[in-house]
Chains A and B, each alone.
Chain A
């Protein structure tokens, strides 16, 4: 046989070998999908991986509130005949006069001294044009410092079941205006004079006043002289364009304001003098209360009637916070003067549901009865801010027409939620559990795979070295393996995490490091015994006899025999590491700052920092789903490795 022929034969053998490998691989894949468990496991795994990778798209903000807290999964609705979809029993944008019909202004606290000048639609609005404006004028007595105004907005509760949570939101703005002492439009010829006088009946008050002059362009200049009756000149200046001057006035004196045209042309000008009243009142507190509306009487229940009603329905009067007009949770919120303030609704996301709870749980069932009319009452207290501003409130009798308060209300919403949300419900912060899970799954899978690959790298290389080389190296490595296996895993995990936490390593890196450093010992031991068995094969001996290097033999002859075992260990290791990560997050040793499945279970269990927790916030769905997903992952990996084992393991193939 010539060398050439031998060459050809070798080539043929190699080609046939490749063919056989290909066929075997194809057979393996086909056989794998024939085993239902394996296919199911693979489908679960692929689905979960894709979901977790897509989580930035599906759930960009997994921790934001999306629904009422502890909502149960939406598919549970089919067991609840009275379930309803989330809806707005009250939603008023005040775009048209029709919106005014469902609201009425209740009046004011100190009845004799103030009066509500009426309600009407205003042009100005929060999200869009149009809002409700309540105008209150304060023009009578000297000494009152507080007035409260309330507006009730009526809605009917249509369902058989009370809502799980009712949320509320609105926007409002307060303007405080004083009509000007002087507001005049005059025409002055050159060198002509015009004099105004300010006479006060209030005495002994110093206050600020704004004097504003507006000139037509290309006219003037105009001289302004302000004299007090005490003989001092407060202002003496010449203006050539529209200007404002602050004046400090004292009501003990009278003032004269003289305008004189210093130019050569006739001049049109407006003069306006107005008390600086902006800070006279504050409206820092707004109360939101609920009451029942009686359509027959056309009025709300009185406080006594309401309390009696609630007591009949088993609500302790002591637990009810009471407002002036309603008995419910009353929320105190801040108000700014001359600026829109939104409570529970967002300007950027106008369609987002409101965020503020309307009343507490125990009031929902007595108040939200079928076909009952309810009123949300928004009540605002205007107060003289402090004693230093009291003079200005006193001044109101000298302000022509009284001090005017304009209260704008817009975008009132009450949203009723029935406590069903999404695939898996929400947690105690109202965040979507499904979103949190797929967000956390990303980290779980990452940690699981990276740590397992590290484990396998360490374990397989040590096992190969130990098994193939034998002798002293084997002895040393195996003693080390024994040592690692004799230390209980969980305490060692905890202590290592503690040490890494102390070194201020990033928790994610720390958790991967900890899991990589442990968990390889068993693999090394099994791989070693497998290598010991493979080493005795004739082909290994033949390779060694023909002068192959140890590295070559391990790579070409031993590694392929170890490979199926490595795959099985990969599957089992990923599960073990994912569970270990969940346990560490559950115990909170590394203070993980990501959404971890273990951490979610910890939050749900109420156990924090290793101390006790009550079962008060417990909700089955909150705990169930994170663990269920862990179980699914575990099942998927076990099923895949089991199916794979069934194909490659000749013993099992025979049995089934």
Chain B
């Protein structure tokens, strides 16, 4: 099977996964009403009124929000439910997401999501790139001389960073650096993206300064993973025969490391790199919450905490969709780069 067929097959399996995810999502969000024995809309309305929304205003929104009205009652025949599922799938595939009921009252979800993606990318793209480069740079150093003093030290740090909760590190750094010492601006905060400010350049620098602390914490939390990946991969390659041959030929260490070993060792890392970079718009729930960055992750959390079903459904669908696409891209890129891979 050639690369072309592999790609096609991978895309098709990806699409099937998306379909399964959609159906899974659809069932998941209708499960509570079945378990509680209440009509979906009633459950929704009751909860919203309980959490302090004006019922009249809410019903006005419901009328506006036609997709929700199409949800059949609990005891409706199966056919109606299947019709509903088909409409739902059609809406989801055509990005007709409807409106948010609570978090952004009455606003369309699709533009809201698009707006939030910018913030997530602005946070996660630099963070991911920096942590990948730092991780790979250190990882190469460690993989070339396993067992050295640097190796032991860095691996202990990695172990430590692995076992700490990232939110703890972030809360501490935010509290100390931004709160008590005041070195950083009020920790992330709702910054404005450059195009909304009068002077784009200054606004950009400003925004980047604001977001540098969350980026720093993300790099601290993530670089160790890349480091270990690179180190392990390089150590495997360094043990292979062609490296031994190169050594026997009398090539110097640097040439062996960068010309022979590194090129082979970086292949498995590339998959993860593609996966990580392709996933930057899915947001980081915890980081965005702590540093109050209005990204996709904090949107999901807000939707969940405010019981905004529709928004929650769509955001989760979006995150899953992005991850599946990232997976597909990663798999194909790996097949593209490594000719040895068997499809």
Contact = CB atoms under 8 A, between A and B. Distances in A.
Nearest to B292: A612
Contact of B167 (A483, A586, A635): A586
A482 B14 CA distance: 11
B21 interface: yes
A579 B35 contact: no
A588 interface: yes
B165 A630 contact: yes
B165 A618 contact: no
A504 B320 contact: no
Which residue among A492, A497, A605, A627 has the maximum number of chain B CB atoms within 10 Å of its CB? Answer: A605
Contact of A635 (B160, B168, B324): B160
Nearest to B47: A502
Contacts of B210: none
Contacts of A586: 165, 167, 286
Contacts of B319: 488, 491
B11 interface: no
B36 A504 contact: yes
Contact of B316 (A495, A502, A611, A619): A495
A601 B171 contact: yes
A8 interface: no
Given A587-B286, A610-B305, A623-B175, A491 B165 contact: no
A610 B167 contact: no
A598 B167 CA distance: 9
A620 B177 CA distance: 11
A487 interface: yes
Interface stretch (B24-32, B81-89, B115-123, B259-267): B24-32
Nearest to B176: A620
Which residue among A497, A499, A616, A630 has the maximum number of chain B CB atoms within 10 Å of its CB? Answer: A499
5 contacts: A488-B320, A583-B167, A589-B305, A612-B189, A637-B163
A607 B289 contact: yes
B74 interface: no
A545 interface: no
Contacts of A635: 159-160, 163
Interface string B17-53: 1001100000011011001100000010001000000
Interface in A568-582: 575, 579, 582
Contacts of B162: 634, 638
Main secondary structure of the interface of A (DSSP, over half): helix
Contacts of A499: 28-29, 31-32
A542 interface: no
Interface in A498-516: 498-499, 502-504
B327 A624 contact: no
A23 interface: no
Contacts of A579: 165
A436 to B, nearest CB: 15
B124 interface: no
Contacts of B32: 499, 502-503
A272 to B, nearest CB: 60
Contacts of A487: 21, 320, 323
B167 A601 contact: yes
A538 interface: no
A637 B163 CA distance: 9
B320 to A, nearest CB: 5
A502 B313 CA distance: 14
Interface stretch (B106-114, B250-258, B294-302): B294-302
Given A589-B305, A611-B302, A631-B163, 12 more contacts: A486-B323, A487-B21, A491-B316, A492-B320, A495-B316, A582-B167, A583-B167, A588-B305, A610-B298, A610-B305, A615-B180, A638-B162
B304 A483 contact: no
B312 interface: yes
Interface of A: 482-483, 486-488, 490-492, 494-499, 502-504, 575, 579, 582-583, 586-589, 598, 601, 604-605, 607, 609-612, 615-616, 618-620, 623-624, 626-627, 630-631, 633-635, 637-638, 655
Contacts of B174: 605, 615
Contacts, number: 149
Contact of B35 (A503, A575, A634): A503
B36 A623 contact: no
Contacts of B20: 483
Main secondary structure of the interface of B (DSSP, over half): helix
Interface string B189-225: 1000000000000000000000000000000000000
A486 B17 contact: yes
B274 interface: no
B282 A488 contact: yes
B31 A503 contact: yes
Contact of B165 (A483, A496, A503, A583): A583
Contacts of A492: 316, 320
Contacts of A503: 31-32, 35-36
B285 interface: yes
B164 interface: yes
Contacts of A598: 165, 167
A587 B288 CA distance: 11
A627 B168 contact: yes
Nearest to A633: B163
Contacts of B304: 494-495, 497-498, 589, 610
Interface in B308-327: 312, 315-316, 319-320, 323-324, 327
A605 B188 CA distance: 14
B172 interface: yes
B320 A582 contact: no
Given A610-B305, A635-B160, A618 B168 contact: no
A612 B320 CA distance: 26
Which residue among A486, A610, A616, A619 has the maximum number of chain B CB atoms within 10 Å of its CB? Answer: A610
A542 B147 CA distance: 42
A615 B178 contact: yes
Interface string B124-143: 00000000000000000000
A-B pairs with lowest CB-CB distance, top 3 = A634-B163, A615-B179, A627-B168
B164 A630 contact: yes
B280 interface: no
Contacts of B228: none
A589 B165 CA distance: 17
A605 B291 CA distance: 11
A605 B163 contact: no
Nearest to B285: A490
B175 A615 contact: yes
A298 B196 CA distance: 67
A436 B302 CA distance: 28
A605 B165 contact: no
A490 B297 CA distance: 10
Contact of B164 (A497, A609, A634): A634
Contacts of B169: 627
Contacts of A655: 147
B290 interface: yes
Contact of A488 (B147, B186, B323): B323
A582 B289 CA distance: 15
Contact of B17 (A483, A498, A605, A630): A483
Nearest to A582: B165
B187 interface: yes
A471 to B, nearest CB: 19
Contacts of A582: 165, 167
Contact of B159 (A486, A609, A618, A638): A638
A605 B176 contact: no
Contacts of B316: 491-492, 495
B164 A631 contact: yes
A370 B29 CA distance: 65
